[in-house]
Amino acid sequence: MTQPRILDLGRRDLLKVAALAAALGTTPLTVRVLMAADGSKPRIGIIGSGRVGSALGGVWAKAGHEVMFSSRNLDNDRALAAKVGSNARAGTPQEAAAFGQVLLFAIPYSAFPELIKSFGHSIDGKVVINASNPFAQRDGAIADEARAKGAGVFDAQILAGARVVRAFNAVGAARMASAHEDPAKIGMPIAGDDKQAIEVAVRLVREIGFEPVVVGGLDIGKYLMPGTPLAGEHTPEEVRSIAATLKP
């Protein structure tokens, strides 16, 4: 399997890219989002602040990101934001989608159609990390459709306009909250078709404490869910070994 090549650019390299982009009249996503003039980190909108969303948002907030938690229960989100600290705030899903330069989705698949309609164009062009998984018993027909097409391919269709990456799909939420305490020991499979979106996801995965492993494009995203060989905790080497046996 041919894996996308991930550039782990340092600050000096990014400044060179920024200078080149300015000369060409363009601004690559990795520079625009990750290299603000003051060195700040991208804002992250959390769509779905259950166990997964709250765990990831909490670690990113402690790492210096401004984070907005959102769900169907704004009071719970406000309490969560107060617990996380000054980098966290709460809002509606629509507000979080507009707020975030990068978005994390951790919601039931059955919630996607109505929610996406309510966003308008606020997710267009943004990196969306989808940590959601389709379960037929909970989500009904949309889960069956997602599994039939493959979760990654389906994600790109339902999140049309966004730059979709699948990650955080098959490791427990408790580990997501604690992996940064002993980083790089557990591999985190990532699937996506957009090189620059993958670069953003790679950096954010590392901040959580996992070692990112790009396993392929969104056609491989169907394996990033419970019940597949990539599910559970594996070392980075084990993730690469498993991924090498998978077929689109």
CA angle 245, 176, 66 (to 5 degrees): 120
DSSP letter, residue 1: -
- Output the average pLDDT for the chain: 88
Measure the CA–CA gap between 68 and 182, rounded to whole angstroms: 26
- Indicate if the pLDDT at residue 33 is higher than 90: no
Q: Which stretches of the chain are DSSP H helices? A: 11-24, 29-34, 51-62, 74-84, 93-99, 112-119, 136-139, 141-149, 151-158, 173-178, 195-208, 236-243
pLDDT at 6: 35
- Indicate if the pLDDT at residue 194 is higher than 50: yes
CB-CB contact of 52 with 131 (8 Å) = yes
Measure the CA–CA gap between 170 and 112, rounded to whole angstroms: 19
- Give the chain's domains with CATH numbers: 7-37 (no CATH), 41-243 (3.40.50.720)
- Indicate if the pLDDT at residue 18 is higher than 80: no
Mean pLDDT of 162-188: 95
Q: What confidence tier does 7 reach under pLDDT thresholds 50, 70, 90?
A: very low
Interval 201-245: pLDDT, tens? 999 999 999 999 999 999 999 999 999 999 999 999 999 999 999
CB-CB contact of 33 with 127 (8 Å) = yes
